[in-house]
């Protein structure tokens, strides 16, 4: 736009030429501020009428992962409880069967001795625990000796890698040694050096208790292996 000749320009045309662009810019600014204010007002009104729950703001990935973890934990707990119930009922049925069916009891002793042959320490502990429950009188203790349970328990004790396996083996041997003949069979099988070489446990004091009980039993019987 060229220079304005103020002498020739009329007052009305001068005002239009100079102030018109200014007014148009101000009008545009008012329209923009009005639109922004209206948008903000609508957003605030909508947020007041429709509040967003906090739980919807959490990522869905975390909720799905938590649900999967809970399902896995529940399944694991059910599986462990199922195993505990099975072991409990199996042990109860074993004791009841031995009390009421002597021939079935002999078979159960043989099955318990067979469990000592398995390499898995869990099955070894199950077999030793059953033999400890069966060894309640001299007849049954000698039956365990005749079926080879003493030698298998000593092998289990000698090759044990953890305290739980050692404790179950010592517990069964301690129950069997209450019979004089069975204790003599233990001595003949070389039980004394194996028992004495069994390491003590700082976590399970019962291991030392069973060891002391067995060694005291052999000493009372005046076994010549002790000094």
Q: What is the predicted pLDDT for the residue at 157? A: 94
Q: What is the predicted pLDDT for the residue at 85? A: 65
The answer to whether the beta carbons of residues 150 and 144 sit under 8 Å apart is yes
Alpha helices, DSSP H only, in 7-101? 11-49, 60-100
> CATH number of the domain that 140 lies in?
1.25.10.10
Q: What is the predicted pLDDT for the residue at 227? A: 45
Residue 33 located in a structural domain:
no
Residue 39 located in a structural domain:
no
Residue 214 located in a structural domain:
yes
Residue 185 located in a structural domain:
yes
CB atoms within 10 A of CB 178: 15
How far apart CA 224 and CA 227 sit, in angstroms, is 7
Residues 142-196 pLDDT 10s: 999 999 999 999 999 999 999 999 999 999 999 999 988 999 999 999 999 999 9
Closest CA to 126 of 163, 78, 178, 164: 164
Residue 131 located in a structural domain:
yes
Residues 32-84 pLDDT 10s: 554 545 555 544 544 455 554 544 445 444 445 455 666 666 666 666 666 66
Q: What is the largest CA-CA distance in the chain?
A: 144
Q: What is the predicted pLDDT for the residue at 31? A: 59
What residues have CB less than 8 Å from 136, skipping those under 6 apart?
Answer: 175
Residue 5 located in a structural domain:
no
How far apart CA 169 and CA 198 sit, in angstroms, is 11
* Rounded average pLDDT over 129-153: 92
CB atoms within 10 A of CB 123: 14
Query: In whole angstroms, how far apart are CA 111 and each of 3, 87, 126, 134, 154?
Result: 118, 15, 11, 12, 17
The answer to whether the beta carbons of residues 134 and 109 sit under 8 Å apart is yes
Residue 55 located in a structural domain:
no
How far apart CA 176 and CA 172 sit, in angstroms, is 6
The answer to whether the beta carbons of residues 166 and 124 sit under 8 Å apart is no
Extract the tokens encoding 90.
């199996």
Residues 84-123 pLDDT 10s: 666 665 666 555 555 544 444 578 888 899 999 999 999 9
* Better-scored residue on pLDDT, 123 or 12: 123
* Better-scored residue on pLDDT, 38 or 127: 127
Number of domains in the chain: 1
Categorize the per-residue pLDDT at 1 as very low, low, confident or very high, splitting at 50, 70 and 90: very low
Residue 12 located in a structural domain:
no
Q: What is the predicted pLDDT for the residue at 28? A: 59
* Rounded average pLDDT over 127-154: 92
Q: Check whether 208 has a pLDDT greater than 80.
A: yes
| Domain span holding position 174 | 71-220
């Amino acid at each position: 736009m060229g220079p304005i000749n103020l002498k020739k320009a009329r007052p009305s045309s001068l005002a239009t030429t100079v102030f018109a662009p200014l007014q148009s810019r101000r009008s545009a600014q008012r329209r923009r501020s009005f639109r922004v204010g209206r948008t903000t007002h609508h957003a605030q009104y909508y947020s007041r009428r429709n509040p967003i729950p906090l739980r919807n703001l959490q990522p869905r990935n975390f909720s799905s992962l938590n649900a999967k973890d809970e399902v896995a934990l529940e399944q694991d707990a059910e599986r462990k409880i199922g195993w505990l119930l099975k072991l409990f009922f199996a042990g109860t049925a074993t004791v009841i069967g031995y009390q009421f069916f002597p021939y079935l009891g002999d078979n159960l002793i043989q099955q318990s001795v067979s469990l000592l042959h398995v390499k898995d320490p869990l099955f070894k502990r199950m077999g030793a625990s059953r033999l400890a429950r069966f060894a309640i009188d001299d007849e049954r203790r000698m039956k365990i000796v005749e079926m080879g349970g003493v030698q298998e328990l000593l092998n289990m004790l000698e090759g044990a890698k953890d305290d739980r396996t050692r404790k179950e083996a010592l517990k069964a041997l301690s129950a069997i040694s209450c019979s004089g003949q069975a204790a003599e069979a233990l001595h003949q099988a070389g039980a004394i050096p194996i028992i004495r070489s069994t390491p003590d446990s700082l976590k399970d004091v019962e291991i030392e208790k069973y060891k002391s009980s067995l060694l005291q039993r052999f000493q009372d019987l005046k076994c010549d292996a002790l000094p």
